[in-house]
Amino acid sequence: MKNITTTFKREGIQYLQEADRIDLLYTIPATTTATIQVPTTQPDAITESGRPVAEAKDVKFLRTGKDAAIHELGSGKYAFEAPFSPRTTSP
């Protein structure tokens, strides 16, 4: 897993990129929200904690962007997995 530094001490982002998928772990501090991009060309195949992202608590789908699905997260810990292809970019 690779870490990404953020401006919030308790917010954390880790990711693991493999040939055909990407795993993203987010920790969002209490009383805040975060807008995230999940790099994938298959937004319907994204899972959070092993279940379809549409069923995830405090996860709101906003829109698709260029090779990414954009979501808003409430405070908490999240584990996303998505199909990944070389034409998509790292988070």
Q: Which pTM was predicted?
A: 0.81
Sorted by where each begins, the domain ranges of the chain are 2-83
> Hey, what are 54's tokens?
């549409």
Q: Mean per-residue pLDDT for 66-80?
A: 94
Looking at residue 6, what is its pLDDT? 52
5 burial (CB, 10 Å; 0-12 / 13-18 / 19+) is exposed
Residue 9 has pLDDT above 90, yes or no: no
The 10 Å Cβ neighbour count of residue 64 is: 14
- Name the β-bridge partners of 67: none
Which pLDDT band, with edges at 50, 70 and 90, does 88 fall under? very low
d(CA 1, CA 78): 15
Which pLDDT band, with edges at 50, 70 and 90, does 86 fall under? low
Q: Which top CATH class is 2-83? A: mainly beta
Q: Which residue has the tokens 């195949």?
A: 45
